Amino acid sequence: MGRREPETIHVARVKIIGAGLAGCECAFGLAQRGHKADLVEMRPSTTTAAHQTSNLAELVCSNSFRSSAITNAVGLLKAEMALLDSLVIRCGTDARVPAGDAFAVDRERFAAAVTSTISSEPNITLRREEVTSLDHDGYDFLVVATGPLTSQPLFEAINNFLGRDGLYFYDAIAPILAADSLDLTKLYWKSRYGKGSATDYLNAPMTQTEYETFVAALLSAEIFAPHDFEKAAHFEGCLPVEEIASRGIETLRFGPMKPVGLEHPVTGERPHAVVQLRKEDLSDDYFNIVGFQTKMKVPEQKRVIQMIPGLENAVFARFGSMHRNTFINGPKHLRPTFQTKLDDRVFFAGQITGVEGYVESSAVGLLVARYIDELSRDLAPTPLPYFTALGALGRHVAESSPDRYQPSNVTWAMIEDVIGRCRKIEKRGRQVEKAMTAIRAAAVAHTAMAAVQVTSPGLRRESPGRAW
C-alpha cells in the first residue's frame, strides 16, 4: 500500500495520564520522535490498592513477561516490540533474571530503569498529581493510560465522556478452547430454538448423572482468593460458573446449562443439561464456553472442563478469569489505532483498552506513540497488519463483538490467520516469519521517516471531535 509522503511536520504536545507500563512506553516513543509529553502520575500521593512504590511502570504482581518462545503469541509480541525499540523490552532485557523459557525480570531494577530513563528524557515532563478530568486544553493529544485500577474521579470523568455506556470495573472471562481439540462425535451444532446461524454454537449434552458429577466437581474446585479490593459483589448477570453452581443443584440447568431449545437435531431428545460453545469472533478455530466465566485455578479449570463430554482433550487457548479491572468497551468506542470514535485526539492506551497483561499494555503504549507521530506528520495513522501480534491488539480492541467484549491477553486466536490449514508447527513458523518481516519493514520505514526532524511546534489540524 503506497503511503503519502509527509507534507508538514509538527512537534506534538501530548498529555499522558498514568505513568504505568503503557504511559511510560508511550511517552518514551513520543520523546524519541521529538514530541513533547507531559506524563502525569498520581502516585505516591494517591495510590492504588495494588501498587506499593512510587516507581513508574511498577509490576504489581508477578515479575514475568511470560514466554520468550517466539512461536508463543506473547513471545512474538515481545520480539515485534523489540524491533520497534520498546522501552519496556529494553529495560526488561537489562533487568532479566533466569527463569527458563519465561522472560522474568528483577522488578526493582526494571522499574528503576524505566523511572530513570523517563526522568532524564528532556522531551518528557513528569508530574505527580491525580488527574480527575479529561481536560487537555493546550495539548494536541490526550492519552489515558490509567490501567485496571484507574482512580474513581477519573473513572467518573471517562464514564461521562463515553456517555455512560461501555466502561466496566470487572472482567469476566470464559475459557477459550482450540476447535481441533474437540471431539465432534459427541457434540452437535445448534442455536437455541434454531435461531441464528446453525453453525454458531456447538453443544455438549449431558445426562443427569454426568451433570451431577460435573456440578460436584465445580463445587470442589479450588478458586483464586480475591484480593481485598476485589471482594465486591459480582453482577448477577455475570456470576462465576462455580458461584452459580453453589446456589443449588438445578441452578446451572436454569442458567448457562439450560437444555431448552437445544434438543438433539437427530434424535429430537432434550438432554438433561447442555454446555454451549460459541465461535470466537475473530477466528473459526477457537470456541469459548458460554457463561463459564470462572475463578477456578488453572489446573482445576482443566480438570473440571475436561469432564464435559467432547471436551476430554480440550486444549485451552486462554483460561478463564475474573478480577477488578477498569476497561472500556473497545469495539464500541475505539478505532484500531486506539483513538476514540468521539474525538480522534483522545487515545486510550494499556489495559484500560481491554488488552490484558504487562506486555500487551506496554505494546499499546508503543502503538499509540507511533500513531500520534503519524498524525503529527499529517499522515493518516495506519494500523499494523492484523497478522502481526501488535496489529492483532488493535484488531481485538476495535473489531471484537461489542456485546461480549472482555479483556484478553494476546493469543493466536486473535492474530489473523493468513497461512491457512497446514501442520500446526509449520503454520506457527510461517506466521512468525510473516509477522516479523512486516514489523521489520515498518521499523525501516519509520526510521526513514524519523530522519526528517520534527520542527515546527504545535499542530495546525483542527479536530473534528466534540468540543471540550
Ligand X SMILES: Cc1cc2nc3c(=O)[nH]c(=O)nc-3n(C[C@H](O)[C@H](O)[C@H](O)COP(=O)(O)OP(=O)(O)OC[C@H]3O[C@@H](n4cnc5c(N)ncnc54)[C@H](O)[C@@H]3O)c2cc1C
- Given 357, 383, 385, 391, the residue binding ligand X (CB under 6 A): 357
> If you ran DSSP here, which 8-state letter would residue 186 be given?
G
Residue 150 interacts with ligand X (CB under 6 A): yes or no: yes
Residue 361 interacts with ligand X (CB under 6 A): yes or no: yes
**Could you tell me which stretch among 67-75, 108-116, 147-155, 205-213 binds ligand X (CB under 6 A)?**
147-155
| Three cell numbers written together for 122 | 528532556
Of 318 and 377, the one with the shorter C-beta distance to ligand X is 318
Say if CB 165 and CB 332 are below 8 A apart: yes
Least Cβ distance, residue 298 to ligand X (angstroms): 13
Of 169 and 189, the one with the shorter C-beta distance to ligand X is 169
Tell me which residue has its CB nearest to ligand X: 20
Q: Which residues lie closer than 8 Å to 421 by C-beta, 6 or more apart?
A: 427
Task: Using CB under 6 A, count the residues that bind ligand X.
Answer: 35
Say if CB 311 and CB 303 are below 8 A apart: no
Which residue do the cell numbers 470464559 mark?
A: 174
Least Cβ distance, residue 147 to ligand X (angstroms): 2
- Given 115, 146, 339, 406, the residue binding ligand X (CB under 6 A): 146
Handedness of CA 99, 104, 107, 111 (dihedral sign): positive
Which residue do the cell numbers 455438549 mark?
A: 204
Binding mask 1-40 for ligand X (x = CB under 6 A): ----------------xxxxxxx----------------x
| Three cell numbers written together for 180 | 481441533
Say if CB 402 and CB 331 are below 8 A apart: yes
Q: Quickly count: other Cβ atoms within 10 Å of residue 93's Cβ.
A: 16
CA distance 368 to 350: 10
Among residues 156, 133, 119, the alpha carbon closest in space to that of 28 is found at: 119
Binding mask 211-250 for ligand X (x = CB under 6 A): ----------------x-----------------------
Residue 89 interacts with ligand X (CB under 6 A): yes or no: no
Residue 315 interacts with ligand X (CB under 6 A): yes or no: no
Instruction: Give me the residues that bind ligand X (CB under 6 A), please.
Output: 17-23, 40-43, 48, 50-51, 60-62, 130-131, 145-151, 154, 227, 350-352, 356-358, 361
